Structure 1
Amino acid sequence: MKPAVVILSKSALPVARKVAAAVDGEIHGARARAEGVAVPFESASAHIAALFKAGRPIVGLMASGALIRLLAPHLSDKHAEPPVLAVSEDGQSVVPLLGGHHGANALAQTIAEALGAHAAITTAGDLRFGVALDAPPEGYVLLNPQAAKPVMADLVAGETARLKGSAAWIEQSGIPLDENGPVTLTVTDQVQQPGDKELVYAPGTLCLGMGCERGTEPEEAVALAASALREAGLAPQAVAGVFSIDLKADEAAIHAVADHFGVPALFFDAAMLEAEAGRLENPSDVVFAEVGCHGVAEGAALAAAGQSGQLVVAKRKSRRATCAVARATEPVEVSSTGRARGTLFIVGIGPGSEAWRSPEVTDLVARSTDLVGYSLYLDLLGALAEGKARHDFDLGKEEARVRHAMELAGEGRTVCLVCSGDAGIYAMATLAFELLDKGGADGDAPGLSDAARRINIAVSPGISALQAAAARAGAPLGHDFCTISLSDLLTPWPDIQRRVKAASEGDFVIAFYNPVSKRRRTQLAHARDVLLEHRPPDTPVILATNLGREGETVRIVPLGELRVDDVDMLTVVIVGSSQSRTVKTGDGRTWVYTPRGYAAKEGSVMGDKEAAE
């Protein structure tokens, strides 16, 4: 997770930016006193507690005592707590408070180097030996962490250690090594039961290659992989990743195996796997004819292990899956090995105001490497867009925009397609699925690449213009309603006319999107005239413009007085039903509501049930 760099005042922002850049963090700030941050919050205590409970690393630019008091009620299990650090506002002191051996000490050193500050690390092992044995570097897993504390105590007291295996981070540390030392530090990818005064580390040197038929049950693939490791005496914790051919990037069984071992799933194209053909123990012409390489499981394992790697478990088969294991000479850097399945987040940012942007959308944008969208929408993200690759598009380039986002994700990136309002309401989510279904909205458009078709897609909702307008005006959507776009660019005008007539006859509250444009001035007038045939001229109409942004206006006019010239392209029009009403409050404001009949049912079974809900 990205560290949250938390500030309480604008004066801390310069140092916070340096810290965030050093640790790839995200700046969170008090809304009332720190403008322009990626994630604003109202209550520091509630926000910091939520970050802590979510396991998010926290770097607080505040007094260490204040941070301790805020988190004190939430401390319980030190083995599960995330890193928490306090940094002085002048950037001179960096203090790891919690999770020292879960990354806080390392973060402190990184931040101190970036700021030219002092890292106040107080854990004995770090100070004495320069390493923390209970927090090995990336690529290693300590298999018996419960033994780390007494072993560290013995070493601090003067005992020496015997190293079985090899690990540069131990050899280059200040730990006193002796072939006859009473403490044993073992580095192995084999299953091993720790002895007395022994710590066992599994290096991420095992590359698990997988292949399977389309639609293989995940349980079958997991069982095959687990049995292959078990029968070879290999430690599951030493698996660096699960590797396969890119044709399987969207195969649930492959990802299930990766999830089982808690490692990434990574993929190679057929050419890279075929380059390993000379090292395969079980090459297959049948496989070559099918996918373009002579072996998937063995080839993927060897490709991940590198030229110096060796096959330690040749291809094993179940009914519909295959697996193999190769051993690399050093822990595998999975970030530069193979390609991950790309991810496309399709998000709605509401009207654009950060106050109306959901926490989930904020999180997905923060997790993305690339942002794609209409330039205005990307600008509205403010500081949240900093440090990400932007791909700006003009209005009218919707298909190009979505296609570009999907192809970027097909390259293994994490891409966020940014929409205003809600991504699934007159926005880009539907076009993404149409491209998957048909290849292109335009029959002459080229189809998506195979890689783009295999991406992971997640859609996150936002506040639509319909919801925003209704909230500003009161409660016009209290009963049945519908939405109709008056744009005939994508929908034939006769179809729109039929829907307006049906909604009018059905007495729905109607929200009109795209009511006018520079060239379209007659559709809204037509809709008004049809509506007047079915509801009274004093029916309230809400005209909402620039919702949630500068220049916001909300007007309420009678249906009989609705003028097309009062509406522009940024206006949402909500027309009440025959039952919609207006009410004035003491401050002179007029509100619109559409009763559902609660008052008439007060005390009834239905009324009581819905009130409880």
Structure 2
Amino acid sequence: MPDPTVTSRIGLVAATAAGRRHAQTVAAAWPHARLVAGESVTDALRTAWAQCDAVVAFLATGAVVRVLAPLLADKRSDPAVVVVDEAARHAVALLGGHTGGNDLAEQVGALLDARPVITTATDTVGLPGLDTLGWPVRGAVAAVSRAILDGEPVQVIADAQWPLPALPPNVQPRPVVAASAAGTGAASADTGAASADTGAESAAESDSGAEQGSGYRLFVTDRVVPLDGRTAVLRPPSLVAGVGASRGVPAAEVAELLHRVLAEAGLDPASLRCLATADIKADEAGIRSTADALGVPLVTWPATRLAAVDVPHPSEVVRAAVGTPSVAEAAALLGPDGRPGDATLLVGKTATAMATVAVARHAPRGRLAVVGLGPGAADLRTPRAVAELRRAAVVVGLDQYLDQVRDVLRPGSRVLASGLGAEEARARAAVAEAVAGRAVALVGSGDAGVYAMASPALEYADERIDVVGVPGVTAALAAGALLGAPLGHDHAYVSLSDLHTPWEVIERRVTAAAEGDFVTLFYNPRSRARDWQLGKALGILAAHRPPDTPVGVVRNASRPGEWVHVATLATLDPTVVDMYSVVVVGNSDTRVVAGRMVTPRGYRWRS
């Protein structure tokens, strides 16, 4: 669900003084939440249902059910509803669990210190609901979801390897069904796309027909497939429609042409990722309103970029008019990312009096999430990190880090664990899994971009995959919070490990930090094999700041065995430091106040 404090209109309904107090707490925290008034509670609840994206009712569950039951229409469009009891002990996700209700119950619970109550079957057992993957889903969604939950065999039949979340063992993919050669070429400019994808459509009909009555199926395809009581279809965002038009083209003409082309090609509009056109058509109301009606973005490209795309039906007339021999075909192939090499033209340009449409299929891209787990404690792990771990089908990481998160992984997740010293191998394995089209999470402690796995992974990652970075609470931040406020002014991070960086380089960096009077944080400060580097680094700093400069050592921040020690440059014993420690050396202004390190900000707010 979108952040309730930013985008959602949340209606609050209460009947009692206690309920109104709880509602006021929510309204004070969330600017877009408001108490809905009415001549009666029933009237207020109906008004909130009609006007808001979500409803939080401080009422009895039975009362809410009796009022809202006659208003239910479609779970994909009905508002999410959460019910909070009189004492605010529970926040029950009553309606729309997979359209925001479950998340809203969690958020309301956190705000009111109430226990969220989630009863959605897939959520309670840790499985991804088919309607939570972010793609349109059609067909027998409830029946297939129930089969997944009950452990019955479910076949996944996909046109390509899409980065789906982990699915349980009873959900087995059939080998990828490639689109036919008939669907890879462009249709005639005169006849349109009536035969462009008939091979692929026939494959779909044959594929599903052969399995009628033999089990449950989940198609992952942009093709139209026959539906029955055992078949659901996920619509991946694989199609891009390129659109060209004369000035002032009616929206109805663009929309009618687009839907006709898709229907004749056996393609579902729900798989449209975007409409694409030339920059000079960006303000064309007929094109823009068509994109809005479909709920997809409109992507535009300059004529010079479109002109560089090889298309089957270039036109010198079009070149003379807009500076490129193709708008519709070239824009369809460029798609949202400008990668024509990933696209196959399914439908060549098809024209009416004022509009032209072409359709391309864009290959799926694997997904690599580089996830920082924080310093170790579960409550310092970000919700986004947890969401990415549950989004992944493959999770890669150091064995001891993976042990911290196994409880949040979905059933069916494949875990690739390795020991210390295998960073390069882990990075290569994660990228290889993503290149194969899978959804992958590569985990590291703290923030994955700080002395961790993001750097080696992104050295190997290329344009074949999408990369998502998930920040985490760093060891430095965790240590700083335990020490007090040592990072209140400029500070520098330095790793003292010379396994990959020559000591001469490290020494120059420590010297620069000392000369600049930076608060200095040492990562990898000392090990059994590297027992002299920390003393050498502290000596460099001691030559540039007073001997009573505070030095903090934090070992196992937020983990079992946590230990915090404050000394000075003159008194610190390096032997108390190991590889599980972070050392924080203050600058010349850092002081110890009530046992806590404090570095002044160095400036004052101006009134």
Name the TM-score, length of structure 1 as normaliser.
Answer: 0.49
Structure with bigger RCO (C-alpha 8 Å, 6+ apart) = 2
